[in-house]
C-alpha cells in the first residue's frame, strides 16, 4: 500500500468527522432558508444577508466547521479537499461498469471514454492534491472552498466510496 493510500485510510475517521460538520452546516443553512424565503430586490437581499450573518445557528455551525478544519494540518486539509473533488468529479468504477453493462445488455452502444475511471486511488488523490497545492493556495483558501460547497457532505461520502471501490 502506498504512503498516500495509507494516509487516506488513516484519515477516514477524520473525513467522517468532516462529513458530520458539513451535514450540520447544511442543516443550519436549510433551516435558515426555510425561515427566510428568497428575496428579489436589492434591499431584500441585503436584509437577508444581514440576517444570515447574524443567525446564531449559522454562526455556531460555521465556527465549529472552521475550528475543526483549522486544527488539522495543511496536508490533511488538502487531502480532504481532494476527496471532495474526487466525490464531485470522478466516476465510481463499480457504478461505471454497472452502467456500461446495462447499456450493452439493452443492445446499446457504449461511447463514453474510460479515461481516469480506473486510475488507482493513489493517482486520483495525487493528481487532485497536486492541483490543490498549486500556489497561491493556502490552508485558509482550502477551508473556505469546502465551506462554500453546499453538498460537501455528499461529495465527501462519494469521494470515500470512489476511493475505496473494489472492482
Provide the greatest CA pair distance for the chain: 57
Burial 44-71 (b: 16+ CB within 10 A, else e): eeeebeeeeeebeebeebbeebeebbee
pLDDT, averaged across the chain: 93
CA 155 to chain centre: 4
Residue 11 confidence (pLDDT)? 98
Residue 36 confidence (pLDDT)? 76
Cell numbers given for 32 = 435558515
Q: Which residue has the cell 482550502?
A: 142
Q: Residue 130 in contact with residue 79, Cβ under 8 Å?
A: no
- Higher local confidence (pLDDT), 77 or 120: 77
**Confidence (pTM):** 0.88
3-45 pLDDT, tens per residue? 999 999 999 999 999 999 999 999 999 999 888 777 778 888 8
The mean pLDDT value for 90-117 works out to 87
- Higher local confidence (pLDDT), 72 or 113: 72
121-164 pLDDT, tens per residue? 999 999 999 999 999 999 999 999 999 999 999 999 999 999 99
Q: What is the 3-state secondary structure (H, E, C) of 105-160?
A: HCCCCCCCCCCCCCCCHHHHHHHHHHHHCCCCCCHHHHHHHHHCCCCHHHHHHHHH
- 72 pLDDT higher than 90: yes
CA 26 to chain centre: 13
Amino acid at each position: 500500500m502506498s504512503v498516500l493510500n495509507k494516509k487516506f485510510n488513516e484519515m477516514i475517521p477524520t473525513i467522517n468527522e468532516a462529513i458530520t460538520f458539513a451535514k450540520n452546516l447544511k442543516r443550519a443553512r436549510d433551516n435558515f432558508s426555510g425561515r427566510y424565503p428568497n428575496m428579489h430586490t436589492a434591499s431584500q437581499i441585503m436584509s437577508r444577508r444581514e440576517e444570515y450573518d447574524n443567525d446564531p445557528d449559522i454562526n455556531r455551525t460555521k465556527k465549529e466547521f472552521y475550528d475543526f478544519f483549522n486544527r488539522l494540518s495543511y496536508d490533511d486539509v488538502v487531502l480532504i479537499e481532494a476527496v471532495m473533488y474526487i466525490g464531485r468529479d470522478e466516476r465510481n468504477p463499480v457504478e461505471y461498469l454497472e452502467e456500461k453493462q446495462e447499456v450493452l445488455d439493452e443492445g446499446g452502444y457504449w461511447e463514453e471514454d474510460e479515461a481516469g475511471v480506473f486510475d488507482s486511488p493513489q493517482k486520483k488523490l495525487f493528481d487532485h492534491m497536486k492541483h490543490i497545492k498549486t500556489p497561491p493556495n493556502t490552508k485558509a483558501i482550502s477551508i473556505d472552498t469546502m465551506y462554500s460547497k453546499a453538498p460537501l457532505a455528499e461529495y465527501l461520502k462519494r469521494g470515500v466510496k470512489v476511493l475505496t471501490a473494489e472492482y
